Amino acid sequence: MLSLIRGHSRSKVPAWEKNGIRVPAVFGDSAYLECGIRPVPSGRRITCAANEGDRSRAGGAPEGPEPEGRVHFTLCSHRTGARLTGFRSCSSIGFRPQWTARAGRPTVGESPSETRKTMALHTFVVGFGRAGGGLHLPVVRKLRADARAAEVLGTAPIVVFDPATPPRHTDDVLAVPSIAAAGELLDPRRTVVHVCVPPRERPAVVRRLARAGFTKVVLEKPLACHRAHADDIAGTVLRHGMDAVVVAHWHSARLTARLARLIRSGDHGPLRAITLRQHKPRLERSLRAGAGDTAFDVEVPHGLGLALSLAGPASLTGASCTAARCDGRRLPWLGSAELVLRHDSGVRTHLASDLTAPIRQRSITLRFDDATVTGHYPVSAEDSHARLTVRGRAGRSQEVFRDDALTAFLGAAYRYFAGLGAPPEGADLGRHAEIVRILTEAKERCGVPGPPPDPRIEMPRTETHCATSAAGHDTVV
């Protein structure tokens, strides 16, 4: 007999280990080997005969000699119907997650009670870098810990795909080798996909998700790095009947709601100008940045979307972009970026972002006839508090309050996908396509090279690209 897997309880759902390597806990409280369907309680050893026709036994079986070649087996779950196919050879042991449809069995990771709750959703994260692993994953975990949101998100493992930096398996994270494999493991119709790959990769990723049958998509900002890419994504969403929202968590912020109320109230007179400053030290990541990354694509989309929401449609009247310099190296387009907008309402917006700044700042200033209002958004996940200061004829007032905007945004997105609410504010594709259009115009004014050509995307030709794509000069327009 070959000892293959040892189960042990570390939490409510047991983890499974094979030869010291942890396998995610997708198997509920008991499991069986397909060739011997005998229940195996948590904490017992699972053994499999070298001869696949032999009946498997649980616990206490003596180990026999190593067989020649491979011994194949399938571990299944009574509770969930999840399947893990594997093999044992003289030199190695291997596993491959696999979901197979069976009459009367729920999808991987679900209990029968969860199957009856049609609103319970799975989570699939594509891209496990700063956005996927550092922002979206912790927020999903936080939402699952909240009793009000837990029934919407369910308890199935969070499935992750990232070919560049494959994550380690944990009790609640399961890495898959491809988007197609995730489509086999999950029910695509009841899965929310977080697309956290770089903007230039998103059109291809969205097409692959559509082919795999996924329809519920959360796209990181910006929607795309060029308007042609935004059009390609929108076309894929439309053709395949997908439902997509773009991350716009500043619209879900309590600070934004207070600012909007001040504008609507008219208590300080009409709004005249908006100033947004989004600075942070980002040199370490800029040094690792890929081709096509610019300062326009990091912080600016947040502020631009906010300005359009508060003051209405706008036209670009000025743009600038500079290089970053560090240790004798010059990083084109990754220093600072500025936009100047003229809104149809008459409001003027100035937006500045410096990715070489020594301090973090995310601030907005609204100038009215009778007051100046300054808001500070949280600058990191370490402290989710915002500040609002009003200086007017009546004097000065200040508020400090908790403002966890990304958690609020993703919670609203899951409720929307579950059919329990409206889509998050400011997350529609049309609004973000307009943001990409303005950013594309700004890049073209500054001579920023366009993205690499994609034969599946028709890229508009511009004189700016041809004349200045190789120069990379610091440009102010």
Q: Is the pLDDT of residue 269 over 60?
A: yes
Pairing outcome for strands 45-48 and 324-326: unpaired
Question: What was the pLDDT predicted at 123?
Answer: 97
Instruction: Give alpha helix (H) positions in 370-461.
Output: 405-417, 429-446
Do 392 and 414 fall within a single domain?
no
Question: What was the pLDDT predicted at 291?
Answer: 55
Q: Is the pLDDT of residue 45 over 80?
A: no
Q: What is the CA radius of gyration of the chain?
A: 26
Dihedral in degrees, nearest 10, Cα atoms 189, 191, 192, 193: -100
The region of weakest confidence among 14-18, 75-79, 165-169, 283-287 is 14-18
Do 325 and 447 fall within a single domain?
no
Do 375 and 259 fall within a single domain?
yes
**Domain contains 44:** yes
Residues 272/365, Cβ–Cβ less than 8 Å: no
Q: Which domain holds residue 348?
A: 254-401
Do 241 and 148 fall within a single domain?
yes
**Domain contains 266:** yes
**Domain contains 112:** no
Do 384 and 441 fall within a single domain?
no
List pLDDT tens digits, range 231-261: 999 999 999 999 999 999 999 999 999 999 9
**Using DSSP, how many helices (H) and how many strands (E) does the chain show?**
13, 26
Tokens representing 27? 């198997």
- What's the domain count of the chain? 3
Do 367 and 408 fall within a single domain?
no
Do 187 and 242 fall within a single domain?
yes
> Average pLDDT, stretch 50-70?
34
Q: Is the pLDDT of residue 439 over 50?
A: yes
CA distance 143 to 410: 9
Q: What is the CATH number of the domain that holds 395?
A: 3.30.360.10
Tokens representing 161? 């795909």
What is the value of pTM for the model shown?
Answer: 0.73
Q: What is the CATH number of the domain that holds 136?
A: 3.40.50.720
**Domain contains 424:** yes
CA angle 107, 78, 100 (to 5 degrees): 40
Do 340 and 380 fall within a single domain?
yes
Do 407 and 451 fall within a single domain?
yes
List pLDDT tens digits, range 93-125: 333 333 332 222 334 444 333 333 446 899 999
Q: Is the pLDDT of residue 473 over 60?
A: no
Do 187 and 306 fall within a single domain?
no
User: Phi/psi class of residue 400: alpha, beta or left (left: φ > 0; alpha: ψ in -120 to 50)?
Assistant: beta
Residues 231/353, Cβ–Cβ less than 8 Å: no
Question: What was the pLDDT predicted at 449?
Answer: 85
**Domain contains 440:** yes
Q: Is the pLDDT of residue 217 over 50?
A: yes
**Domain contains 50:** yes
Do 271 and 301 fall within a single domain?
yes
Q: Which of 21-35, 162-176, 304-318, 458-472 has the highest mean pLDDT?
A: 304-318
Do 127 and 12 fall within a single domain?
no
**Domain contains 104:** no
Q: Where are the beta strands (DSSP E) in 203-259?
A: 216-219, 243-246
**Domain contains 7:** yes
Pairing outcome for strands 191-195 and 336-343: unpaired
List pLDDT tens digits, range 62-85: 333 333 344 444 554 433 444 454
